[in-house]
Amino acid sequence: MYVGQLEFFNGQAPDGIKSFGSSLCMASISLGNYVSSLLVSIVMGITARGNSPGWIPADLNQGHMDRFYFLIAGLAALDFIIYVLCAKWYTCINLYTNEKEIQLEEQQKDMLAKV
């Protein structure tokens, strides 16, 4: 994920804020690590009530890691749906236009202005 996210920020950000994109990439990954730890704590707190060892106990042979992984799979599927919606909504920008494309666009604007 890190490589793809860094490539996106470097490819779609203007030259002046590429370093900001790299720092935003690292910040999002570190935030994801904190959310992962928070998710484990929440699951342990909710599922370990009373005498039940919960899904993620100290002795994993007594727990239900399968349920936790199904929860992770469900969250990943939801994340994929959100990703697809955002990817359809997003339009790429071209930061590397060459001289010929700029001249062609100027000629088209001049022709449209004359019409």
Check pLDDT > 80 for residue 96. Answer: no
Q: What pLDDT shows up at residue 98? A: 56
Residue position matching structure tokens 């599922």: 47
> In whole angstroms, how large is the CA radius of gyration of the chain?
24
Check pLDDT > 80 for residue 26. Answer: yes
Ranges of each domain in the chain: 2-114
pTM to 2 decimal places: 0.67
**Residue 64 Cα to chain centre, angstroms:** 28
Contact 63, 55 (CB under 8 A): yes
Between CA 92 and CA 55 the distance in angstroms is 43
Alpha helices (H) in the chain, listed in sequence order: 2-12, 18-47, 65-89, 99-114
Q: What pLDDT shows up at residue 49? A: 84
| Mean pLDDT across the chain | 85
Residue 99 binned pLDDT confidence (cut-offs 50, 70, 90): low
Kindly give, in sequence order, each residue whose CB lies less than 8 Å from that of residue 62, ignoring residues fewer than 6 positions away.
53
Please report, rounded to a whole number, the percentage of residues in the chain having pLDDT higher than 70. 91
Residue 90 binned pLDDT confidence (cut-offs 50, 70, 90): confident
Residue 13, class by beta-carbon neighbours within 10 Å (0-12 exposed, 13-18 middle, 19+ buried)?
middle
Tokens representing 98 are 């060459």
Between CA 33 and CA 31 the distance in angstroms is 5
